[in-house]
Structure 1
Amino acid sequence: METAGLTFRDATDADVDTIVALVESAYRGDSSRVGWTTEADILEGQRTDPEGVREIVKSPDSRLLTVERNGEVVACCQLEHRGAYAYFGMFAVSPALQGGGLGKVIIAEAERAVRESWGVTEMHMTVISVREELIAWYERRGYRRTGKTTPFPYGDERFGVPQRAGLEFELLIKPLV
């Protein structure tokens, strides 16, 4: 599907390395500081790896929505069917393109796609609770904080190396009606 000069499609095995590089550039290291979604001050190490991305691509209950502009992958997000709701994760926009409204278009398309494909009535996501600016952005898109948290997986470097104690994920929910 094409929206505002963007092409949306499901990722394939051929996209795995590109997606890993995009996600890493949006969340980790100095390249991520160009955008506003960086986690570089709270987490070091990797955000994802080829095995994790390949699992999402291959899972029958997941889609890795890939967003292209002029043939170049500029964003992605994971959509996972979990019964009555869909889970939204691994949302990454190229740091150089952040702040220009691209995220709003992508999340709206993701919400439309899960309603249409799976008939779900809610979108769920988890956000590191100290990411107040990011949570506020999602709240402006209609997501609400639930106060329900799960601990960050300290010691599992597949999710990064925490730079502070007390990190946790908070569940955000949006009705899709």
Structure 2
Amino acid sequence: MDFSTFRLEKAGYHQAQAISDLINLTYRGETGWTTEASIIQGDRTDRQEIETAMTNPDSCFLVANQSFMLVSCIYVVKEKEQAYIGFFSVHPSLQQQGFGKYMLEQAETYASQTMRVRRFSMFVVSQRSELIAFYQRRGYRLTGQIEAYPLYLGTPRTSDLTIDYLEKVV
């Protein structure tokens, strides 16, 4: 895929609703390999949560646009000596073409250069083995820290959902 056709930039507050919509489409929509609709119902986020995340001075939403359409987003926030990565979404029509790998690399580069961190962390629904494998192929490792699924992220369709924490040191 030719990534030069995409415009990568820091998101502005005016993009909060579009970011929320993309995240919900990616994780709760009916298509794409990242959907969790079969195991979690309800929205993953909303405009208010995105706007609140944007107010953190140690954070940044990176977004990719193509033809005036938001096609990907990733959030990076510095927490002590590491960067937490979240809200990572690629439009379902662009998944499995290398774009996710590209966006993750861009976020890590941004955090390394701008936030001066060498450690990255994130959490993933434990039952999403294919998503965990995606991150493991990019150098992330499971930390062994597992917690109950946080209910503010949607309503689990089963009672046994958990989240796994992953980290990467560069």
TM-score by length of 2: 0.94
Partner of 1:172: 166
2:14 is the counterpart of 1:14 = yes
Distance in 2 (CA, whole Å) between partners of 1:140 and 1:100 is 15
Post-superposition offset of 1:73: 1.1
Distance in 2 (CA, whole Å) between partners of 1:4 and 1:173 is 29
Provide, for residues 24-44 of structure 1, a one-character-per-residue CA deviation record: whole Å limited to 9, x for no partner.
1101132xx2x1000001100
Distance in 1 (CA, whole Å) between partners of 2:150 and 2:33 is 24
Partner of 2:157: 163
Query: How many residues get paired?
Result: 168
- Runs of 4 or more off by more than 6 Å in structure 1? none
SS of structure 1 residue aligned to 2:78: strand
Partner of 1:70: 67
Partner of 2:52: 55
Ranges in structure 1 where 5+ consecutive residues have no aligned partner: none
Partner of 2:29: 29
Ranges in structure 2 where 5+ consecutive residues have no aligned partner: none
Q: Which amino acid aligns with 2:131?
A: L
2:35 is the counterpart of 1:38 = yes
Two-structure CA RMSD over aligned residues (Å): 1.2
Matches within 5 A, 1:3-152: 4-30=4-30, 33=31, 35-152=32-149
Post-superposition offset of 1:85: 0.6
> Is the Cα–Cα contact under 8 Å of residues 77 and 92 in structure 1 kept in the other structure?
yes
TM-score by length of 1: 0.91
Q: Which amino acid aligns with 2:7?
A: T
Distance in 1 (CA, whole Å) between partners of 2:73 and 2:53 is 12
Distance in 1 (CA, whole Å) between partners of 2:148 and 2:59 is 23
Distance 1:149 1:76, change over 3 A: same
Distance in 2 (CA, whole Å) between partners of 1:39 and 1:85 is 27
